[in-house]
Amino acid sequence: MKNRETESKKIQPGEKDTAVQPGKVISVQIITMLIAVISMLIDGVMTGAFLGDNAMAAYGLTNPVNMLLVALGGLIASGSQVLGGRCAGNDDENGLNQVLTTSLISGFTGGLVISILIALFISPLCATLGAESQLISDLTAEYLNGIVFCLPALVIGQIVPTFLQLKHCRRQLLIAALSQIVADVLLDYLNVTVFHAGLWGMAMATVISCYLYVLMLLIPAYSRAGYRFTLRSYSPAVLGKICSYGMLYLVYKASVALMSLFLNRELSSHGGVEYLAANSIIFSIELIIGAFPSGFGSSTSMLTGLQRTKNGDEAAEMMCRRIVKLSVIVNSVLIAAVILLAGPLVMIFSPESEEVGAIAVWGLRLYALAVLPNTVNYIVRNYEQNMDRTRNAYLICVANHLALPTAAGLVLAAAAPLRDIWLCFVIGHSICLIITWYKVQRGRKNQHTV
Q: Give domain status of residue 338, yes or no.
A: yes
Range of the domain at 218: 20-449
Instruction: Give tens-digit pLDDT for 78-90.
Output: 889 889 888 988 8
Number of structural domains found in the chain: 1
CA distances from 318 to 272, 307, 392 (A): 48, 9, 19
The DSSP symbol for 418 reads: G
Q: Give domain status of residue 4, yes or no.
A: no
Q: What is the largest CA-CA distance in the chain?
A: 70
Which helix (H) or strand (E) element contains residue 47? none
Confirm if 45 and 281 have CB atoms less than 8 A apart.
no
Q: Give domain status of residue 91, yes or no.
A: yes
Q: Give domain status of residue 8, yes or no.
A: no
Cβ-based neighbours of 54, under 8 Å, separated by 6 or more: 135, 136, 139, 273, 277
pLDDT tens digits in sequence order for the chain, 450 residues long: 444 344 434 444 334 444 456 877 788 778 766 765 777 788 888 898 899 999 999 999 998 887 877 787 888 988 898 898 889 888 899 999 999 999 999 999 999 998 998 899 999 999 999 888 899 999 999 999 999 898 899 889 989 988 998 898 988 988 998 898 899 989 999 999 999 999 999 999 989 999 999 999 999 999 999 999 889 999 999 999 999 888 988 898 899 999 999 999 999 889 989 999 999 999 889 988 988 998 898 888 878 878 888 889 999 999 999 999 999 999 999 999 999 999 999 999 988 889 999 999 999 999 999 999 999 999 999 999 888 889 999 999 999 999 999 999 999 999 999 999 999 999 999 999 999 888 877 776 666 555
- For residue 248, which phi and psi values (nearest 5 degrees)? -60, -40
Q: Give domain status of residue 14, yes or no.
A: no
> What is the C-alpha separation between 421 and 429, in angstroms, rounded?
14
Q: What does the DSSP assignment read for 282-305?
A: HHHHHHHHTHHHHHHHHHHHHHHH
> What is the C-alpha separation between 345 and 126, in angstroms, rounded?
28
Q: What does the DSSP assignment read for 334-379?
A: HHHHHHHHHHHHHHTT--SSHHHHHHHHHHHHHHHTTHHHHHHHHH
Q: Give domain status of residue 438, yes or no.
A: yes
Q: Give domain status of residue 12, yes or no.
A: no
Instruction: Give tens-digit pLDDT for 371-387.
Output: 999 999 999 999 998 88
> What is the C-alpha separation between 122 and 211, in angstroms, rounded?
23
Confirm if 379 and 299 have CB atoms less than 8 A apart.
no
Confirm if 320 and 387 have CB atoms less than 8 A apart.
no
> What is the C-alpha separation between 430 and 200, in angstroms, rounded?
38
Q: Give domain status of residue 11, yes or no.
A: no
> What is the C-alpha separation between 47 and 41, in angstroms, rounded?
10
Helices then strands, each counted (H, E), the chain: 19, 0
Q: How far is CA 54 from the centre of its chain?
A: 26
For residue 271, the SS3 value is: coil
Spatial CA neighbour of 289 closest among 83, 24, 7, 40:
40
Cβ-based neighbours of 88, under 8 Å, separated by 6 or more: 96, 166, 306
Confirm if 220 and 172 have CB atoms less than 8 A apart.
yes
Spatial CA neighbour of 234 closest among 149, 112, 109, 116:
109
